[in-house]
Amino acid sequence: MKIAILRQRVGALGGAEATLGYLVRGLAAAGHEVVVYAVDAGPEASQALGPGVSLMTVPVWGGKAGRLLSYALNSRRLLKQDGVEVVFSLERTLFQQVYRAGDGCHREWLDRRAPFLSPAARLGQQFSLFHRVMLGLEGRLFTDPGLVRVIANSRQVKEEIIRHYQVDPDKIRVIYNGLDHGKFRPGPVGSGKTIGNQLGAPPGAKIILFVGSGFTRKGLAYLIEAFSCLTDQEGLLWVVGKGSVRRYQQLAARLGVEGRVKFWGPRAEVAPFYQAATVLALPTIYDPCSNVVLEALGCGCPVVTTEGNGAKEFITPGVNGAILAQPNDIQALAQALQEFSAAGREPQVRQKAQEAVAHLSWDLTTSQTLTVLEEAAAKGRG
């Protein structure tokens, strides 16, 4: 089967790009002809996707809104010239039989974000050309009669799509992201402190870990504020991810914890940080299903996150983590951090964390995805 996959960015370090890589390699390994329609279709992108996957360059222009619209228009034009059996989009596009909502529901993100904005920023969001184009593409996609299946990466996202766009629930399949257990696994028994020491933590220090890019959306400011409230004056907060840190360094200094907050920047290898951490904290405003949460759990690290994160579906409160009703509830966040700073290295907590995601694999995710693609291709032939 010849499968066209639509995704603008290919070679970056983000979770969406990692997901794309696992999927295309799995589909190609299963014997299918895979063509990725991308903006960055150069040698680095080819290397990121691996052998057996073709790349087609989609021209784009303009700013953020222009890139969205031109990618949608130009990918449709190119696809109509190509003979593919099924079009599988990971973007909000104009021509697809299967759409994977890995980035969640944009209307839901805007609704969740609005209460955290100033009145001027809310007005700017309402009239933003980028958001208007995004919502226009999203609405058209979900009402397109040519759309056969939608893949949601959490039950949360499925419910959002149904609520906002009245999509037939039978059209939506929930397929969770996979997990590479060869990479994201607990270290040897008792090695957490050793790994932490190797990374520069003082002996016995408890490490609260934040991993992610998009610091504002993922609640880093709330985490720093909650961290400053903890009674343990020896604990550390480590921040791994891409973003401007100046504002957060200033916040840490103002709260008197700058000496215990370390910004590591983006890291290609994150597993040692999960293995060293006492608890992962991600007080996100919105995440469809954070790969970071799955990876941390796979390494045996308990997680504190929010109701706005689809990955909460893998957390049992009080057992392998905590789920906050609101990301900016500093008292609740500090209380959860206090609880799992104390209990986060207990063997039963680490075991329950790992068990929660033990069934996930990229082989399973690819197999389930292929079933959906075959359903769509069969309907197209019929």
Spatial distance between the Cα atoms of 131 and 123, rounded to a whole number of angstroms: 12
CA-based torsion, 57, 60, 65, 69: positive or negative: negative
pLDDT at 382 over 80: no
What is the per-residue burial (b if ≥16 Cβ within 10 Å, else e) of 280-290? bbbbbbbbbbb
pTM score of the predicted model: 0.93
Query: What does the pLDDT look like over 154-209, one tens digit per residue?
Result: 999 999 999 999 999 999 999 999 999 999 999 876 666 778 888 888 888 999 99
In this prediction, residue 13 carries a pLDDT of 58
User: Environment class of residue 81 by beta-carbon count within 10 Å: exposed (0-12), middle (13-18) or buried (19+)?
Assistant: exposed
Contact 299, 290 (CB under 8 A): no
Spatial distance between the Cα atoms of 212 and 14, rounded to a whole number of angstroms: 9
Residue with tokens 């109509």: 80
Domain boundaries in the chain? Answer: 2-178+361-381, 192-356
Query: What does the pLDDT look like over 202-234, one tens digit per residue?
Result: 888 999 999 999 999 999 999 999 999 999 888
In this prediction, residue 82 carries a pLDDT of 78
In this prediction, residue 190 carries a pLDDT of 65
Spatial distance between the Cα atoms of 85 and 379, rounded to a whole number of angstroms: 10
Average pLDDT for the chain: 93
So what CATH class is 192-356? alpha beta
Spatial distance between the Cα atoms of 136 and 129, rounded to a whole number of angstroms: 10
Spatial distance between the Cα atoms of 351 and 297, rounded to a whole number of angstroms: 9
Question: In percent, how much of the chain has pLDDT > 90?
Answer: 82
In this prediction, residue 19 carries a pLDDT of 87
Mean pLDDT across the stretch 72-89?
91
Q: How confident is the model at residue 89 (pLDDT cuts 50, 70, 90)?
A: very high
CB proximity list for 30: less than 8 A, separation 6 or greater: 366, 370
In this prediction, residue 192 carries a pLDDT of 65
Considering the four listed CATH numbers 3.40.50.2000, 1.10.3720.10, 3.40.50.10860, 3.40.718.10, the one that applies to the domain covering 2-178+361-381 is 3.40.50.2000
Residues in the chain: 382
